[in-house]
Every structure is written in structure tokens, then in C-alpha cells.
Structure 1
Amino acid sequence: MQPLPEERFEQLVGEALDEVPDELFAQFDNVVVLVEDRHEDEPDLLGIYEGIPLTERDEYAGAMPDVIRIFRLALCDVCEDEDHLVDEIYVTVVHEFAHHLGIDDDRLHELGWA
């Protein structure tokens, strides 16, 4: 599909974040979500989590926030229309937040989120 304007895409990411169940969202700690066009080294990557998962935090005081990056152009490339894009954004957001919670790709595959 044609890439959505940045403002509309960011709105859809915000709506996806609003859809994350409250009990799950309450576990997020010191993490920001950013929208970017593409990953510099892996242009087909839909999203990435950069940080220290909650399960690995021992001495974490004063650390910079973890970052979840959602890649607008890559997601638009794999979607047929805006409805499909809405679904893919949600799956990508949940997938990356799962990494923040310490869930690896193997487990995400088992759960159907990879």
C-alpha cells in the first residue's frame, strides 16, 4: 500500500497502544515508543525493542529509557490496506512490548505473536 502520512501512522500506533490490555500495560517500565521510517541496517524490519528486558534488570536505577521503534514504511510495504495496517501495527507493538517483558522470539512464535 502507499505509505500513510506520518501523522496518521502515529495516530494508528497510539490507538494500538490504547488497545494493549491495562494489566499488561501496567507492567511497562521506563520505555518509550517511537515511529521512524525504516531501520537503517534492516529496511524490512517492522519494529525493534532496544533496552534491558524487565526480567534482566538488576541494577537499573538511572538508566536511559528502553526504546521501541515502529517502522512506518516497512509496515506499509507489507500491508494491503489500512485495515491490514491497523492489525499489523498492533501485532508489532505487542511483539516489541513482549520483548520488554522478557519474552523471546521462540516463545512469541508459540503464542502466535511472531
Structure 2
Amino acid sequence: MDSSDRKSRRDEFDDLLRDAIEKLPPEVRRLVDEVPIIVDDEPWPELLREMNLPVSSESDLCGLHWGIPLNEKSSMSDQPDTPRIHLFRGPIVRLAGSNRRELKRQIQITLIHEIGHLFGLTEERLAELGYE
């Protein structure tokens, strides 16, 4: 794959992510507008080790919510981290394969999953809702 193919795939991913954000309910979008959504190519090795996941160039970690969930924040908190959401392009693309519709679906699922964590939902609750 040459650099122009990689750029067009990145552009496609970014366009689909923008669409997914725009389709969020307005009240959710307003809250999410305050949270950086960062797209990384892959999860970094230190993160995988910290999460007790195998360090691999073929990781299947698609996203991560970083920081204190909004339902646990307080003005008395000494937690300096600004909440943020990371989406990992490589694992999402690998999961979707070459199917654009599936890529769109995986981006939406991952985004909603991480927003769920932002609002304090557990992995179990997200699975119950269909956002594994």
C-alpha cells in the first residue's frame, strides 16, 4: 500500500468518525464536544502492558476512555487528567476488513462504547446494550 492509499484510508476513517459524532443525540454531542477524541494508529505498548494485554502489532484494542467518568467527577477531585477518548484505527480497520459498511459500524460501536465509559457504564452494561 503506497502513501496515497494510506492517506485515503485515513481520510475515509476520519470522515466516518465525523459522521458518527454528528449522528449522536444533541445532548450527548454537547457533552462529548468537551472531550478530545484522538485517533491513534495502534495502541501503544506501554498501554497494552498496563492493561495486561498482549503487546502485539495486531492488537484488537479498538478504543479507550481515559480519565474519570463524568458521573464520578467532583469539584473536590484531585485528578488532573482531562477525560479523553482514543480510537485505534488499526484494530478497527482489521476488525472491519475491506467492507466500508462494516468499518462505519465498527467506528460507531467503538465510539459509543467509549462514550459509555465516559458516562460511567461498565463493560458488562455496555455488553448488555450491544456495545461490546
Q: TM-score, normalised by structure 2?
A: 0.75
Q: 2:84 aligned with 1:67, yes or no?
A: yes
The residue that corresponds to 2:71 in the other structure is 55
Q: 2:82 aligned with 1:78, yes or no?
A: no
1 CA distance for matches of 2:33 and 2:25? 15
SS of 1:39's equivalent in the other structure is coil
1 CA distance for matches of 2:9 and 2:33? 29
Q: Residue 63 of structure 1: CA displacement?
A: 4.2
Greater share of strand: 1
| Aligned match for 1:104, one of 91, 116, 122 | 122
* Pairing of 1:1-114 with structure 2 (within 5 A): 5-28=9-32, 30-40=34-44, 41=48, 43-58=59-74, 59=76, 63-80=80-97, 81-114=99-132
Query: Please, which runs of 5 or more residues in structure 2 have no aligned partner?
Result: 54-58
Q: Residue 21 of structure 1: CA displacement?
A: 1.1
Q: Which has the larger radius of gyration?
A: 2
Code of the residue aligned with 1:113 in structure 2: it is Y
Q: Residue 30 of structure 1: CA displacement?
A: 3.6
- The structure with higher relative contact order (CA 8 Å, sep 6+) is 1
Contact 1:30 1:65 in 2 (8 A): no
Deviations 1:73-112 (A, max 9, x none): 1111011311100011001000000100111111111111
Greater share of helix: 2
Q: TM-score, normalised by structure 1?
A: 0.86
Query: Please, which runs of 5 or more residues in structure 1 have no aligned partner?
Result: none
2 CA distance for matches of 1:63 and 1:48? 18
Identity of aligned residues (%): 28
